[in-house]
Structure 1
Amino acid sequence: MASPRELPIGVFDSGVGGLTVVRALMERLPLEHIVYFGDTARVPYGIKSIPTIEHFTGQITDFLMERGVKMLIVACNTMAAVAVHEVARRAGNIPVLDVIDAGARAAVEASRGGNIGVIGTPTTVNSNAYARRMHALDPRIRVFSQACPLFVPLVEEGWLEHEVTRLTAREYLKPVLAEGVDTLVLGCTHYPLLKPLLQDVVGPGIRLVDSAITTAEFAAAKLASLDLANHGEVPARYAFNVTDIPLRFQTIGERFLGRSLSQVTKVEW
Structure 2
Amino acid sequence: MAVVPADTSDTASAPGSSGSLDPAASARPLAAPTGARGLAVVTGASSGIGAATARALAEAGFDVLLGARRADRLAAVAAGIGPAARTRVLDVTDPASVQAFAAGVASCEVVVCNAGGALGLAPVAEADETEEARWRWMWEANVAGVARTVRAFLPALVASGNGRIVVVTSVAGHQVYPGGGGYTAAKHAAAAVAQTLRLELLGRPVRVIEIAPGMVDTEFSLVRFDGDAERAEAVYAGTIPLTADDVAEAVTWAVTRPPHVTIARMDLFPRDQASARDIHRRV
TM over 0.5: no
Structure ranking higher on relative contact order (CA contacts 8 Å, 6+ apart): 1
* More helix, by proportion: 1
TM-score (normalizing by structure 2): 0.40
